[in-house]
Structure 1
């Protein structure tokens, strides 16, 4: 079986697990006695762990020249973490388990994206390929959301989390069959350190350049809006009388739409470039949060809002992951992937911290109004990225002439 297929199977298994736990974690912490502010602190501390670990894992994989051992280790950590979480007698126990989970999540997210970038380095339709890979993940997420909510209603949340233990363990077993081939080229030497005789004098632009500031700013604000919105979404839905099964259905429905959109967004981003799809994704999430603010009490209207969420999430995710994965080469892609995931973690940190505290102090309405504004700010950053990209292309064309 090819590495691409194995990574796809691993992604599907992980996203089923993510779909199961995403609508249950905040409710589970609340059932263990945590207040909204305490939930925000717990969730934020997990993101801090991921923020630090993401770049460290990516950098380590570049230095090591291998990715497979780190991927397997991250998946094993996730399996153990969810077993500990399912046995939690208090919110403090759950907090410790979630911190351990953050280490595993950072390893999996960073290394899997770097491996996809390595596999698709010479492919022209990278956006399409990543759209399919990530889109199947969204379909798996939908399955997990719908079944997870149903299982939680039938057997409570703690036993349902044990499903995640098995899924992550199965993903780790699949990762054992990945073939790395020859050792990756070593990462470029750090500035100021002596270079061995015969080393190249300078790195290529792809290896020496950072991810663009406008891109990282857009990612930060988009993730901030999404994390704040999603972390309190099950609790918000509960205020309108929607149960776990209904919430799981709504979340799963959006994920199915994401799958379709991601495939199409990948194709369009290969034709038009990544920034237009990033802008579409940011505006879509801004409108989604405005819809939560104004129409969540009307179930038929909420279905329409979830369609918009699927369009916004799918457009952004495919374009952002492709942009990050194609920036650099095999010597530095782990670090670039780590930097991308560190930026998402930083946005997630602010988002999860804001979410519980805004709800505690001002209510859910304020939270979703702020989320809409943050997503719109992201759209502005991506518009600036589009202008920068257009100027670069124009300058390159002029030089060629």
Structure 2
């Protein structure tokens, strides 16, 4: 099997686990605690670990000149922790999820490997990667409702087994040789086009803060309206299916049109989505808005842009710090969203999220196109 196909298959398997968790981990946290805030915490507190460790694993892999071995070793540990979730209280569930995220977060090295394989067509390569992850999320979301209906012990066991399968399949991926970055620590922290990377990270943080205010609560909101677990799983599968359908086209658009047009339009699209979910009363229209695949534009364009702004030996840190910013946004949005929903209700929380889309749009106006840049290794 072609090495790139091995990466895509492994990513599909790993994304299946995330599709399952995205649909039901907040619901499980809400069921065992009775609070929206717990659904926010199970989403947000692990995200603060992502803030640190996505950059941390990127830096470690740049130092070692290795990515594959870091991914496998850390995800073996993360896989085993799923088998403890069903026995945990809400406090221990959050603690275990945070520890697991510490190890799982090395997954951000996968797109770093892909951009090294395809330096001149990053957008297309990442587009196909997003197709694989979207398919995995779709599969995970479809089976999640049925697995949760059997029981959450069974649900977490299935998730753990799939995570182990990812580690096994990724073992057969060939890691490219790369130069170690052995500069002194202070020099090591300065990489790429730093000012432009920081602006991109600010954009990602703001936009994902708004996004996680919804994503940490929407399935809980549906559950409280009496929507069945199976139907919630199908709704989540639609979010990943629409992502899957557009991912390859978005990758091509990113290479053909550049990164900035996609980064510019994404917050405007999110603003319309979040306002609609908050203002409209029809549940099916809310769901229709929820499944629109605007995240594909954001993640493809932002990952391509940060790859443009870093050399091969800096790529792990570049993608790592971008994902740290995304994680910080998820942390902030989950905390704010969960507590706002407890005090003011989910609908008002959804409306508040649109303010972050407005801020993201104004930040995007300050960005410059990165597509034509080439940072030498």
**Is the structural similarity TM-score above 0.5?**
yes
2:173 matches 1:178: yes
- Counterparts of 1:242-261 in structure 2 under 5 Å? 242-261=227-246
Equivalent residues of 2:43, 2:330 under 8 A apart: no
Equivalent residues of 2:27, 2:223 under 8 A apart: no
Q: CA 1:3/1:211 → structure 2, altered by over 3 Å: closer, same or farther?
A: farther
Q: CA 1:35/1:17 → structure 2, altered by over 3 Å: closer, same or farther?
A: same
Mean CA deviation greater in 206-215 or 144-153:
206-215
Task: Please state whether the residue corresponding to 1:212 is helix, strand or coil.
Answer: helix
Equivalent residues of 2:13, 2:165 under 8 A apart: yes
Task: Please state whether the residue corresponding to 1:187 is helix, strand or coil.
Answer: coil
Q: State the distance in 2 between where 1:278 and 1:48 align.
A: 24
Q: State the distance in 2 between where 1:22 and 1:360 align.
A: 20
Q: State the distance in 2 between where 1:360 and 1:306 align.
A: 21
2:130 matches 1:145: no
Q: State the distance in 2 between where 1:20 and 1:176 align.
A: 23
Q: State the distance in 2 between where 1:356 and 1:303 align.
A: 20
1:102 is matched with 101
Q: CA 1:5/1:290 → structure 2, altered by over 3 Å: closer, same or farther?
A: same
2:202 is matched with 217
Mean CA deviation greater in 125-134 or 275-284:
275-284
Task: Please state whether the residue corresponding to 1:331 is helix, strand or coil.
Answer: helix
2:122 is matched with 126
- Counterparts of 1:157-196 in structure 2 under 5 Å? 157-182=152-177, 184-187=178-181, 189-190=183-184
- Counterparts of 1:2-401 in structure 2 under 5 Å? 2-33=2-33, 35-88=35-88, 90-109=89-108, 111-121=109-119, 123=120, 125-153=121-149, 155-182=150-177, 184-187=178-181, 189-190=183-184, 207=192, 209=194, 211-295=196-280, 297-299=282-284, 301-307=285-291, 309-310=292-293, 312-385=294-367, 388-389=368-369
Summarize deviations over 1:3-24 as a string: whole Å, max 9, x none.
3112111110011111111111
Q: State the distance in 2 between where 1:248 and 1:210 align.
A: 41
Segments of structure 1 that go 5 or more residues without pairing to the other structure are 194-202, 397-401
Displacement, 1:210? 5.1
Summarize deviations over 1:251-307 as a string: whole Å, max 9, x none.
2112111112221111111111111112222222222211211235432x2343135
Q: CA 1:25/1:325 → structure 2, altered by over 3 Å: closer, same or farther?
A: same
Equivalent residues of 2:197, 2:306 under 8 A apart: no
Displacement, 1:225? 1.4
Mean CA deviation greater in 144-153 or 266-275:
144-153
Mean CA deviation greater in 142-151 or 236-245:
236-245
Q: State the distance in 2 between where 1:226 and 1:249 align.
A: 20
Q: State the distance in 1 between where 2:166 and 2:363 align.
A: 36
Segments of structure 2 that go 5 or more residues without pairing to the other structure are none
Equivalent residues of 2:123, 2:254 under 8 A apart: yes
Q: State the distance in 1 between where 2:231 and 2:287 align.
A: 11
Equivalent residues of 1:218, 1:380 under 8 A apart: no
Q: CA 1:207/1:188 → structure 2, altered by over 3 Å: closer, same or farther?
A: farther
Q: Which has the larger radius of gyration?
A: 1
Q: TM-score, with normalisation over the residues of structure 1?
A: 0.86
Displacement, 1:192? 7.2
How many residue pairs match? The answer is 372
Summarize deviations over 1:57-105 as a string: whole Å, max 9, x none.
11111111111111102321221121121332x1122122101221123
Q: TM-score, with normalisation over the residues of structure 2?
A: 0.91
